[in-house]
Chain A
Amino acid sequence: QQQVKQSPQSLIVQKGGISIINCAYENTAFDYFPWYQQFPGKGPALLIAIRPDVSEKKEGRFTISFNKSAKQFSLHIMDSQPGDSATYFCAASMRGSQGNLIFGKGTKLSVKP
């Protein structure tokens, strides 16, 4: 039973384009939604996170859009750069879960120069 569904599995974008990765969740008790970025041979690192009391959060070129009624959230990478090529994971956790992050299956992003 996968509680956080992520798509697409892989994504190829031209330099300067917009990368969009989508996630959907089932458990309405989730109330923290981070995105992690993982480069080959490295551990995941927190990129940006959102709580469901806001519909959008922006940090630099990275934006999370959140739709509580649809139980969906997405990561938008504006002006995508080759250095953004990595695997991106959405995740979710709920209050009282002691930091138990439920991860999506990941999206491998390749940004072509």
Chain B
Amino acid sequence: AQSVTQPDIHITVSEGASLELRCNYSYGATPYLFWYVQSPGQGLQLLLKYFSGDTLVQGIKGFEAEFKRSQSSFNLRKPSVHWSDAAEYFCAVVRSNDYKLSFGAGTTVTVRA
């Protein structure tokens, strides 16, 4: 079954530094991939998605992600983080057998001043 893996449980980054969150997927064909962000006590907000086409996807809040088929990855990046980027980040893939979202375990991002 299609799934995603987020290898990093927790990342700490300094404000103004760059951020990269890793996501690896298992899927035979071209997957439908998503990144969501969840602030404490809030719902999930869609940052960006990839269905097809340009492999570099731009999202909201200055985030981007790159789909790399050769590495089965869909890593999320931001060149300069803000304190408000402290949150939980989830990578997800739509499963082809039942069209349901399969989430990674999430990566918690802490931003230090």
A and B associate in one complex: no
**Could you tell me which A residues sit within 8 Å of B by CB distance?**
none
